[in-house]
Each structure stands twice: as structure tokens, then as C-alpha cells.
Chain A
Amino acid sequence: MKKLFYKTISLCLAAGMIFSLGACNDNKNGGENDVAIWAADGTVRINRNRDEDDVAENNPVFRVSMTRNEYESAQIILTPEKDISAYSVTLGDLTSAEGKTLKKENFSVYNQKYLNVTKQSDGFSTGFGWYPDALLPMETAEEYGENTVKAGENQGIWITCYCPKEQAAGTYEGTFTVHCDDKDYEIAASVTVYDYTLTDDITAKSAFAISRHFLNASGDDTLEHYKAAYDLLLDYRLAGINLPTLVEDTNYYLASVREYYDKTPSYSVPYSIKYNTSAADTDMDYDKFKDTIFALAEISLQDEKNYLDKAYLYLGSLIDEPTMAGTVDRAVRISHQVEITKEEIAAEMESDSAYAGALGAEIIDAVRNFPHIVTNRYTDELYNDGEGVKYWVPLFDDFNSVARQEFYENSGVEYWWYGCIGPNNPFPTYQLDDYLITSRVASWMQKDYGASGNLYWDTCFWIDYDGTYNRIDPYTASPMHFPGDNGDGYLFYPGTKYGIGPVASIRLHSIRDGLEEYEILNELEENYAAKGYDADGILQTLYKKLYSNAQVKKEVMNDPSVFAAAREELMELGVINQTFGAYITKVEERSTEAEFGVAAEKGVTVKINGEAVSPVSENGTLNEYVYTVALDKAQNSFVLELEKDGKSATYSHDLGGRSMIFNPVETQNDLSLFTAGENDRLTLANASMFGYEGYALRADFAATTDVTAELRFTTSFDVLKTAKSLAVEVYNPSGANIPLVAFVDTSGEAVLMQIYAGTLLPGKTVVELPFDGFNWEKYISVESIVFRAGGKNESAKTLYFDNFVLKG
């Protein structure tokens, strides 16, 4: 078996991701040291060990695109022929064509520090090598002489731009200079600012542990250090589990709640452990819990602010991961008692006139819905018929099917999620030897799946654990601190040895980037809902490009431009909504066309695909439009142009290539290509459920015993060799979800191979069978496509199939 090494992604040309850094014409310094200076965007890791693809010629100009009040990063990579004893960066102001300035003070420059992966993470690894993680401020790197580069190695410089709220939209350009010993290299820089302002609000809750006893490993276990760490995480839109205070002292605790309430998305309520003699087991002190809730309620009334709406309870030292830990009984008992206690508190408040007003009602409601989060997926045992765990925190991979996603979404209560030494790629991770992009996409998934918060088991596990705890220098030790995954358990580094505060990591930056995108998604959802629209239609088209069932798509990991395009589209959606009050109210993809609904404030001029369009209806101050795009070109798109008072904006949505009907299932001739089981019936039926005239294939599958219901489509599929996919519309008239798997029966393999696996929700689903990348050499030809619906020993079912369409 070949050794596998991480290949650097050197060609980061996505429209709108990274710094525009135009390398010098020849990247040579005149002869003494040949230094290749090239750039990469902030969604990839460039390892220190040089790969043959890391060549300067492959890296032309890069750019950053961002919104106001956002952070966005990119990298410069130095790869010298000979050692560099000192390098540094001088920034310059960037200016726009309109004469506006983006000041250099808005940029922060970091030296990337590397860790050597010598043991690959369990489950998945991008290979051995030196991975960048800690981001040491450049001035500190210079002060400590760490701004050196060895011959033949890559050295990354991470540069983060913060775009001020007042910055005008536009493209800003200028130059930065990289000094390598006695040679200077000028680099063109370009930042495009979108006409959208990111909110300061952090609506994504989080519980990222900062373990005091592991902070000690840096030699500084002071509260000040903890506070610095807590504040650092807040800078990255994350909340530590415990507020930076003496949580055991109620007065200190309340003061800290007051200090942080407006800044933090969430905070935990402290608890005490007490022995439960009747259960003969450890338990929580419910009286103390009550006192704390009442104390929070009191200051809420005093300050006229509902402090309880960001609070939660996490009993990590009592009932963490109860199924795995074998503490199911304890989890059930305590969870139930917490709910009883909450109800007692709420009842007491209701009889107290202090809570009589609107704020009082809010507080009581917050108490009743106060989440006691338990790190476990749903199980019947833990739920205990409603007298057990209520607020679930399953692992990321528990969302690996539509059924599971729906289960939690329909549960009616708040739920979070988490990852912890697993699951691994293609699920998102915070591990070091994984694709960086998964840690960013995680926040998109979180929004999509409706998880209110994200929990992480530690952010400063600066210890090597092998059964005993051993202090290490996290800057130099093996990155696998806890057995399992490299990088797991720590997201920042101690700054103590440099005399500075905590040092962030690339992973922390990536997490923040995702959380910023989370807020854009959230704002769109809220704004759409306020107008009676559902943003999910258009947002799902973005989500689908990035992942499916909590698994990041291969193309997203391998090609940064895929994520960049989705992000750009998201920002455009934000711009047209925030600036023009415009909404994409509907996206309906059909076999050979796509229909869009648009709403925009009256007075805004609307053009779609270059045509001026007229409204078809109104919704208060909005005009509503409908437009259908025929998918008849090699490249199709929906382009919305808005203009008002001299301001304009464009939103583009890629619709892919040509869609061509392959089998419309309209005639008996079309139908004759399909076969099913001997007790099944195939007929042509009215296609009205698809919204079409004409016919569709109706498959009445008989009850199954030892085989699954099967529909076989047999014809020549040679045309698939030049297509991206074969899509079919499937209609499930039942009220139940039906698993559907599609296989190809090929001449090169005796066994049917799965090409699609999904779940048919009630209603219409467009099932797309991917043939882009199909291994025709091995499998030669496709003889039949076989659909299997449901499973064995199931009752009869009916499905409709219509319009088999070639795409791309």
C-alpha cells in the first residue's frame, strides 16, 4: 500500500475568498536566494513540507471578499531555496476606485507555527507531515526570532482583515511588502467589500470548555488567564462553558453574568454535586440550583433584562455521554428531577407578584424552557417516556439521515450537537489532519439542522494523556494530546512563554468564519419569516452544494472554489435583502426548467436574466415576481439585477448545464422499458402531483417478504458517458418516509452497485444519480438502473416516477 501524503491545494482562485496577492513577475530576488512567494486562501492548510505542486507559477493573484463587520483571512507562503534568517511584512492602505481607503490597521499578520503529525488520527487523516495551526502575532515572532524559514520548506503568513462597519462597499487595492532578509517583495492586495453589514449578535449558542486544570499546564492557572481565554473565544464568536468568575460564589457569578450577558451567546449555570442516599448515587444539589435560578431571575427583574434566556445547564462531571459511560439510570433520574425543579420554580414565580408583568412572563417561560443539555443521542431508555432526558446533544453524525434530522427538528425542544474524537471525515471535525473547510461548513450544517448550540469538550487540553496526565509544550509536542485525533481538545495555545495572551489557531479562525456565515443565514431566515416567506428554499440550494446528511462533499474538500461560490452567493443574498429588501421566495427545480419567485420593495427596478420583469402580485410594501428559466443551454443561471436610487446589486444562482429529457414516461412505449416484481403493477397515471400535465409512471409495489420492492429501467445508457447526472422526479404519496436506493447493473460487475441512497419524504423529490466521475473503464456500460424502495417484509406501497432527465 502506498504511503499517502497531504497534497497542498495551491491553486486557490475562488472568486472572492482570499487576499489578492500578485506575485512578482519572476519571484526571484536577483540571484542570492530564490524565494517563491505565493498565496492561498484561508480555507486550506499549506503544510510545511513542500509538495511538488507547490510552485509559484501556479499561484497568480488572489482576492478577499467579505462583508462589513466581518473577519476574513488568507495566506502568503514563502518557499525559499536557501534559509531565510528573518522575514517580515509591511502593510499598506488599500484604496478603491471611488477614493475610499481600507486602512492597514484593519489587518493582522501572523506567523504560522507547525506541528508534526507522526500518528494519524483514527478514522481519517490527510496524512503525516507538518501542519500549521498556532498563529503567533508577527511582532512576537520577530521578537523571539521565530520569523525564519528553512530552505525548501513552506512558511505560511496568515493575514486577517477586519472590515469596519462603516466601510463603503467596493474593491480596495494596494500593495504589501514581504521582506526576506535583505530583499523586498511587493505583493498586490485586493479586498472586495460587499454592501452588507454582519450583525454583532451571536445567535449560535456554544459551550466550548476551557478547563482550568489544563490551563495550569501553561504555568498560569490564574483567573485572569481564564478570563483572557474566555475573552479570546468570544472574539471568535464562541462561549466557554463557565463564565470567567468564581462560579461557586453567587455574587461574583451574578456580576459576571451582568458583565457578559450582552457579549456571550450562552453561559452555563453552576451546580454542586451532592450524594443521593435513596438512589445510592451522586446527584445534583437541587436546592442550590433553585437558588441560582432565582438569583438570576432577581437580577433580571432589577436590570429589566431576561438573563435566563441565554443560560443552560450542563452536568458534564455527572452525566456526560451516559450511554457510553453506563450512567443511563443516573441521567434519567437527574434529568427528570431537573424538570420537576424547573416546574417548581416556575410555579413559585407565577404566584409571586414580582413576576406579574411581561418581563416576568418571559422569565417564567425561560425557566420552563431552560435547557439541561445532555451529551447523547436520543434513546428510548434516556427519554424514559418523557420522564428523563429532554434536551439532546447528539454527535454530528447522528444527523446522517433525513429521518434523524427530522426527528430532532420535530422534537419541539431545543437541541444542540457536538463532536469529540469522532465522528471523523466526511463529518465535520476540528482535528488537525483533516480538511480545514469541514470546521467552517459545520456552522452551515448547524443552521440547516436547527441545532441551537455546539458543545466541545475542551479548548486547552495542553496535556499528553496516556493514562496519566503529562505536561507538554503544545507548540512542539505531538499534536495527538488525547488518543484518537490530532488537534482534538485544543483550539488555542498558551501565550505565557511569549509574554502575551492566549494564541489563536487556524482552526479557531475557521470556526469563526463559519459562525459569521451562520449569522448571515440566521438573519435571512428571520427577515424572510417576518415577511411571510421561507428562506429554506433558496438556502437549501446552497447547503446542497456543500454537504449532504452532515457529510461534507468531496468536491468541497478538494476544491476551495466550490465553497467560495456558495459563500459568494450567500453574501449576495444578504446584500439584496439588507440593501434592497429583496427575497428569493421560491426555487422550484423541474426537469427542464426552474421557476423562481422574487419579492422586492416597491420602487426597486427588477431585471432577471437581462429582462425587465413586471410583478404578478403584491405583499404589503413588496412586489412579487415569478420567472422561469429554461435549462436548455450548456450553462444556465438565474441572474437577478436590482437597482434603486443609483445603487445596484446582482444576485446570481447557477443552474448547471443543459437538462434534456431522457424518458418522459408519457407513452406505453416509454413504459415498456420498465419492469418490476411479478406481483407489482406498472401503469401510466396522471402527472398532476408533479404539477405537470401528461402522465407519469405509477408503480404499485406489492407487500414484500424476502425481497425489496424493485423497479428496473433497462435501455441504452451510453449517453450517460457524457452527462453529469440522470435525474428523475419521484413522488411519494404516503405520509411516511421511504428509503430509496438506486443501483446500476453494469456489464463489468456481477453485483448491482449503489449509485444513490436517500430517503423519499412525503411529496416530490428530485433524485439525482451522479455519473460525473463514473468509472466507465471498470464498469464498461450500464445495462439497467434499478430502484429499490423500502425494505423487506413491508406492506404494499405506491410511488410515481416522472421525467428522467439528463443533466450537464
Chain B
Amino acid sequence: MKKILTFVLAAAIAVSAGALAGCKPRISNDENTLEIYFLNAGYGDQFVADLAAAFEDEHEGVNVEYWGDDLDQTAALLQSGTTNTVDLFIIGGDMDSYAMAGANVHPDYDIILENIDEVMEYEENGVMLKDKFIRDAVPQEIDGHYYSFSWAVGATGLIYNASKFEILAQDNPNIAVPNTTDELVQLCEDIKAAGEIPFVFSVSTNYWEYMTRLWYMQYEGAENVKNFFLGIDNGAYSRDIFLQQGRLESLEALNSLIRHELGNNHDNVNLMNFAQSQAQFISGNGLMMVNGDWLENEMRNVANEDENKFEFRMMKTPVVSALSEKLSYWKEGKTFAEATKTMPAKTRKEYDEKLSAIIDYVDAGEPEGEKPSFAKEDDVLIVKNARNVGYTIGGNHTVGIPVYATAKDLAKEFLKFMLSDEGYRIYFDATTGNQLPIKYDLQNDTERWGSMSAFAKSRYEVTIANPEYENLITTYGTTPLTTLGGLTLWIGDGQYAEEFFATKDEKHYKTPYELYRSEYEDEWTVEKFNLMLKNSGIDPTN
């Protein structure tokens, strides 16, 4: 008998322990009433309200009702079948996982979601909606059908206080957006020398994992990221995937920035919750914070408009300096982490300056820049690929229609509307300049482009405006090992590396190498990995 193992579904169900709690309004379940359940969190609820109102205006006789929370009751609602009246989910989760779970969600349905091929193949101005998505958000086909798409870009990165950077740069022009993580280390020194705090964050929210994932992807590249999620190392399904060097290098990079003894952190990173740390950042106490494109929306609740209003920008993520090891001029014969244990600081700086020069060349783009003489074409390609990698969480902000919904057709029409240019504009206006992950000539929409803050423009330029921008984890991260076997990049909640690095308690500190090895030795034992393969259907004896 086949086992039924739906890890992603299980995770979703586990999250929804507060199933069906809280206020759900009484809503009519007729075919002309579209009921939407949505995630009411960082992006707020205004976009749903505005889309609903506009949709009603364009569809006489139609009523759109919506309700939301930050609990994610999706699993419970779907499992309750026709006893729930939600027609459309706009959630903070991966709706595709429910489609992949098949009949395991509800006994009466082979697949709990309605396929939305009709929506994806709908044409607006000669372009199919599925072709409107930016590279990073192209919807996934499951057995030849579409069931979901992302409704947020979810761009993440290192956000900085541009106003303060500008002021400090007057005395020290080195205070500028760094190209590499080593340059970021130096930037911290410069910031401290100027009497400011480099980083503010909360150890309890694990946002730094947005950066370590990026650095991992930069270092390993597409092929190795793909192999990780396929469970393949050195031609075999092997738990040695957890020994990919990029995992260690990303932790080393993080440790070089936020280790407590360096003094780069706000004094209360170990005490504050996320909201408090964000409030500190917005108030200028801490010049850099890992955050996401929803920041601006949340800032509205915090920023005092009368004073200390700073301009924030998302920087292009510094490339992990360990990438030097992959380039043709690396002469150390060992990994970056190993070599830099004993490497003279001068040598390390020389390597990093070369990397930085190639980054400048890549950023300038052809034919603007001049290729450094020491760089080979392969070096440029490696750096370019690293520069274009990004980490987004749009894949965890998705839509879906239950197959039993009474207003299925209406829900599809709503989705078509949402993905239209008009829908894009409504969403943009309601979320203070956030964008749906679809192509839209924003820079030629002078009114909207002009209304965008520096922050919004910066993240747009870093992400959507770059046609090469790609989250490799989104691209390669849905495999049988992740959906059925429970494979994650870091076990559970990513081990919260910042908690171990930024701790003031020496006993609590763990080195990057310790964290890196503990995944391999303690978490993913040979037996556990073998079980994971079997659960994923990779078992030659079955």
C-alpha cells in the first residue's frame, strides 16, 4: 500500500491549528456572490477592498465579500468542503501544495482546487495572462494544468537608510552601497566610526535567512541549487547535499556581519520582536535591516510624518565574497572559508577588490562598462549570474479556487481582472507602490512612477526591472523531495542562525561550521535521509 505523505500539506495543516476561529461573517453562497478569504498582513487589506469595489462596478449584479486574518485557515477551510463558502483564496501560503496533495485533502475530491487554465490562457491585448508574469513568478503547471499564481512579488533584501547614508557620506565617501559582503563588513566599521548603528533586527524572526539563502544561491549557482532540491550530490541521491559549501559560506558571511562581539548590532536585537525592531529601523536607530517590499506599507503605521522621516532604499544584495573562490584568479587551492582562516587581510582585500571590479562591470552592462583585464568571460558570467539571483517570497503568496465553490466562474473572472493592467494599477495604489508579479510598463506610467518613493523605486529596479532576476529556490524548489519528503534548505525554521551569532551569551554561540555540520550530522542522518527518499518515491526496491 502506498503511503500518503503530504509534507507540505501537513505543514499547512499544522499552521492552521486555529482553524475556523475568529470572525467569519455570514455571507451568501449564491453564484453572484464572490467570497474571498485573504491574508491580512504586511500588504494590508486595502488592495482586496479596492479590487472588490472595482470588480463590482464592472460587473452589475455581482457582490464581492471578503474577510481575512493572518492565521491562514486555508487548510481547515478546504478540508471542510462545501460547508465553507469561500470561493477564492488569496493567502500567505502555497496553494499549489493543495493541488499536489490530490485526494488527501478531502475525500470527495481528487483535487481540491479548480484548475485556472481559462484564466492563464485568457488574453489581454494579445498577451496570455500566463505570459505576463515576471520570470520569478511564472505559474507552475501540475499535470498539465494551472491551479494557482502568486499575487505578490515578495522581494526581500537589505534595506538601508539612504538619508543617513547620504549625510554620513559627506564625511566619509566610503559609506555607500557595497558590492560584496566584505565591503559590507567594512561599511559597518565606517558606520560605527560615524557613531551610528549598522544593523537592527530581531533574532526571533529569522529574516537574515533571506540573505543567507541569497548568498547560498550566489555561491552555488543554478545547477547546484537544482541538485540540492533533487537530492543529488556527485551523481547520487545523497545527503552530502547538506555539505554543499555554499551553505557554510553563507553562514560565514552572516557571522562576519552580526557576530555580537563585532558591535554591529542594535543593542536589543536579542530582546525586540519584529515590530519593535522595524520601528527602530524606521526611526533611524540602525541603518540597515533585512526586510521586504511590504515594509513601506507597514511604515504607514509607524512613521511620524512630522519628524525624522527618512528615505529608505533596497540595495542590490552584496555578492558573497566567497564567490572569489569560483573565479579564475583564485590561487588558494582550498575553499574561501578554509583559505581565509589564515589568509593575510591584504590578500583577502585584493581578491575582493577584483570581485568588486567585475561586479561594477556587470552592473554597468554592455557596452557601458570596461571588462577588467584579469577577468575571463567565465568569471563575468559567474558574477553576472550571482548578481541576478534574488530571494522573493511571492511563491508563498498565492491564489486558488476550491473546486466545490459555488461562484467559481465569478472567481475566475475576478482573477482575470486582478491580472489585468487595471488590476495591477489598483493593487499598486492600494499597497503604496507594491506590484503584482506581472509585467507592466511602470516607468512609462508617469503618474505612478512619479508617486513611488525612493524605496519603491529601488526595489523595483533591483527586482522587476531586471529581466534576469530569478529566485533559484522558487525555480527549482518544488520537487518530490520537498513536497513529499520534507526536504527544506535548512531544517524546520532554518535554525535561526542569527540567534546563535548575535547572542551575547558565549555559551549560546555557535560557529558557522557547527551549525553547518549539525544539519548534516544531527538532523539529516543517513537513516533520515534514506526515509526521506523513500517517502519521495525514490526507492529502487519499491
Contact = CB atoms under 8 A, between A and B. Distances in A.
Interface of A: 1-4, 6-7, 118-120, 122-128, 381, 384-385, 400-401, 403-404, 425-426, 466-468, 483-484, 548-549, 551, 558, 706-708, 739-741, 743-744, 746, 749-755, 757-759, 770-775, 778-779, 786, 788, 791-793
A764 to B, nearest CB: 18
A775 B103 CA distance: 26
Given A122-B14, A466-B21, A773 B3 contact: no
What are the nearest 7 A-B pairs in CB distance? A1-B102, A467-B21, A752-B236, A757-B530, A122-B10, A757-B526, A401-B525
A752 B540 CA distance: 10
Contacts of B17: 467, 483
Contacts of B21: 466-468
A400 B525 contact: yes
A1 B540 contact: no
Given A483-B76, A754-B530, A772-B541, 19 more contacts: A119-B79, A122-B6, A122-B10, A124-B4, A404-B525, A466-B19, A483-B13, A484-B13, A740-B526, A743-B236, A751-B232, A751-B237, A752-B235, A752-B237, A752-B238, A753-B538, A754-B529, A758-B527, A788-B236
A404 B230 CA distance: 27
Given A401-B527, A757-B529, A775-B541, A118 B103 contact: no
A119 B17 CA distance: 14
28 contacts: A2-B102, A4-B104, A6-B1, A122-B14, A125-B4, A384-B507, A401-B526, A401-B528, A404-B525, A467-B18, A483-B19, A484-B14, A549-B527, A708-B238, A741-B238, A743-B237, A750-B235, A752-B235, A754-B237, A754-B533, A754-B538, A755-B540, A757-B527, A758-B527, A771-B541, A775-B541, A786-B236, A788-B238
A730 B110 CA distance: 48
User: Interface on chain A toward B: helix, strand, loop, or mixed SS?
Assistant: loop
B16 interface: yes
B235 A791 contact: no
B7 A123 contact: yes
Nearest to A793: B243
Given A120-B4, A708-B238, A751-B237, A125 B19 contact: no
Contacts of B236: 743, 751-754, 786, 788
A753 B528 contact: no
Nearest to A750: B235
A614 to B, nearest CB: 44
Interface in B236-259: 236-240, 243, 245
B102 A775 contact: no
Interface in B1-60: 1-7, 9-10, 13-14, 16-22
Contacts of A770: 541
A1 B110 contact: yes
Interface residues of B, number: 53
Contacts of A124: 3-5
Given A4-B2, A404-B525, A757-B526, A773 B541 contact: yes
Contacts of B13: 122, 483-484
Contacts of A2: 102-103, 110
B234 interface: yes
Contacts of B1: 4, 6-7, 126, 558
B110 A753 contact: no
A241 to B, nearest CB: 24
A758 B541 contact: no
B107 interface: yes
Interface string B496-533: 00000000000110000000000010000111111101
A6 B1 CA distance: 8
Interface of B: 1-7, 9-10, 13-14, 16-22, 76, 79, 102-104, 107, 110-111, 230, 232, 234-240, 243, 245, 507-508, 520, 525-531, 533, 538-542
Contacts of B18: 466-467
B492 to A, nearest CB: 10
Contacts of B520: 791
B394 to A, nearest CB: 26
Nearest to A740: B526
A121 to B, nearest CB: 9
A703 B234 CA distance: 17
Nearest to B18: A467
A778 B542 CA distance: 10
A772 B542 CA distance: 9
A3 B107 contact: yes
B318 to A, nearest CB: 25
A424 to B, nearest CB: 8
A739 B524 CA distance: 12
B542 A773 contact: yes
A6 B107 CA distance: 13
A772 B230 CA distance: 26
Contact of A123 (B10, B232, B533): B10
B507 A1 contact: no
A791 B102 CA distance: 37
Highest count of chain A CB atoms <10 Å: which of B4, B21, B507, B520:
B4
A790 to B, nearest CB: 10
Contacts of B531: 400, 426, 551
A791 B526 CA distance: 11
